[in-house]
A and B are shown apart, each in its own frame.
Chain A
């Protein structure tokens, strides 16, 4: 039911809040509530009922003349022009083959799949971020004499834990891909957006937006605070004999806090991501040619294996296990900058067209 209310809010959000419009909104909401309640009473599922109610809603432009807001409601885009000049239409249609539009049940299935897998995906990302923690902490703890281990054994155990955690994360992601596989054309942007689906998706995102913003606030706070233990250990325990261990422990805490932030944010962001994907469609995907679209993906495909090779090479050859972990935090920050940079370039390019 919340999706329906959010849908209606989105539909009316662009119009002035005159008493007449508010009355129309209230009455249409009443109709939708009644229709929803009667569908549920007839044994329809929540999803089916929402889909049917939204399908039967109609078009707000139709109500405009009786509300005296005809001029406020945007005319259907470019209808008269294409009718007046039919000749160029087939040419453009041929030049840019359109993907079939996304349907509402398809979009609902896609959103449902993302809702189901949200905790597993978040857990996998958290595992990836935490995976080097033991490798960073154990050799340092061994060196400081806190554990009855040699530094090499600590490194080995840490490496083992890293591989196990990465393996669990990858297996989790592979398992979740089974749920999203039927909707791969949506994920890959091979569809044209449909106004009804777009409105539904915006409604869905709006319904979950408060939770997402709160999670984002918590996550950002955690990320900003994450280096504080590290800085505190480095500065306050300067004269402690185990200072170097505490600094390394601080680095582990950075990872833990970053992972915690991701763990809080990712399960709350699914509706937003789904709405972004559904509203973009092939319009978003076709603007950027294939090669540019997945710039970050291409970089990532080479970046992480390369970084792992550098890390292992440096550690084994240089026997620098106590130092080489810095590859990961530096690599992660650098990758973040690369991803943000190329994302910004893409959106700038998109905005210019």
Chain B
């Protein structure tokens, strides 16, 4: 189980990545994240909500009202062009972060 602290900076990346597939609402995003991560990482609702609101404030996503599959009115989020560009940046940042940290864990078992 990954700690919330370790992954905090990359929740935005996860949300942007999911929104590239199409607009979604908060619980839909939470469900997709759980589907993908399984038991490795359980996202808290407040973590996801603050990530989405932060992205919205930075105009990386935009919101609109719609109805969820269960028929309830929900706020949907859609990625903007700035969001797509930011996603690419974040992916590049993650790759270099990962390669830097990897250099310190090479040869360590397990």
Asked if A pairs with B, the answer is: yes
Task: Identify the A interface with B (CB < 8 A).
Answer: 24, 27-28, 30-35, 37-38, 56-60, 62-63, 65-67
Q: Which residue of B lies closest to A59 (CB)?
A: B46
Q: In the complex the two chains form, is A27's CB within 8 Å of B49's CB? A: yes
Interface of chain B residues 50 through 102 with chain A (CB within 8 A): 50, 53-54, 57, 68, 70, 72, 74-75
- Which residues of A sit under 8 angstroms from B74, Cβ to Cβ? 30, 34
Q: In the complex the two chains form, is B50's CB within 8 Å of A65's CB? A: yes
Judged by a CB distance under 8 angstroms, whether B31 is at the interface is: yes
Q: In the complex the two chains form, is A63's CB within 8 Å of B49's CB? A: yes
What's the count of A-B pairs with C-beta under 8 Å?
61
Alpha-carbon separation in the docked complex, A57 to B25 (Å): 16
Query: Closest 8 A-B residue pairs measured CB to CB?
Result: A58-B44, A58-B46, A34-B27, A66-B53, A62-B46, A31-B27, A63-B50, A31-B26
Judged by a CB distance under 8 angstroms, whether B42 is at the interface is: yes
Alpha-carbon separation in the docked complex, A30 to B47 (Å): 15
Q: Which residue of A lies closest to B27 (CB)?
A: A34
- Which residues of B sit under 8 angstroms from A58, Cβ to Cβ? 44-47
Judged by a CB distance under 8 angstroms, whether B18 is at the interface is: no
Query: Chain B nearest CB: distance from A1 CB in Å?
Result: 13
Of the listed residues A30, A57, A60, the one surrounded by the most CB atoms of chain B closer than 10 A to its CB is: A30
- Which residues of B sit under 8 angstroms from A66, Cβ to Cβ? 50, 53-54, 57
Q: In the complex the two chains form, is B53's CB within 8 Å of A33's CB? A: no
Q: In the complex the two chains form, is A35's CB within 8 Å of B46's CB? A: no
Known: A27-B75, A35-B45, A66-B57. 5 other contacts (CB 8 A): A31-B27, A56-B45, A58-B46, A62-B47, A65-B50
Judged by a CB distance under 8 angstroms, whether B14 is at the interface is: no
Q: In the complex the two chains form, is A59's CB within 8 Å of B44's CB? A: yes
- Which residues of B sit under 8 angstroms from A30, Cβ to Cβ? 25-27, 72, 74-75
Tally B residues with Cβ within 8 Å of A.
22
Query: Chain A nearest CB: distance from B58 CB in Å?
Result: 10
Alpha-carbon separation in the docked complex, A30 to B42 (Å): 19
- Which residues of B sit under 8 angstroms from A31, Cβ to Cβ? 26-27, 30, 45, 48-49
Of the listed residues B30, B47, B48, B49, the one surrounded by the most CB atoms of chain A closer than 10 A to its CB is: B49
Query: Chain A nearest CB: distance from B66 CB in Å?
Result: 12
Q: In the complex the two chains form, is A57's CB within 8 Å of B44's CB? A: yes
- Which residues of A sit under 8 angstroms from B50, Cβ to Cβ? 62-63, 65-66
Q: In the complex the two chains form, is B72's CB within 8 Å of A32's CB? A: no
Query: Chain A nearest CB: distance from B70 CB in Å?
Result: 7
Alpha-carbon separation in the docked complex, A102 to B42 (Å): 22
- Which residues of B sit under 8 angstroms from A33, Cβ to Cβ? 72
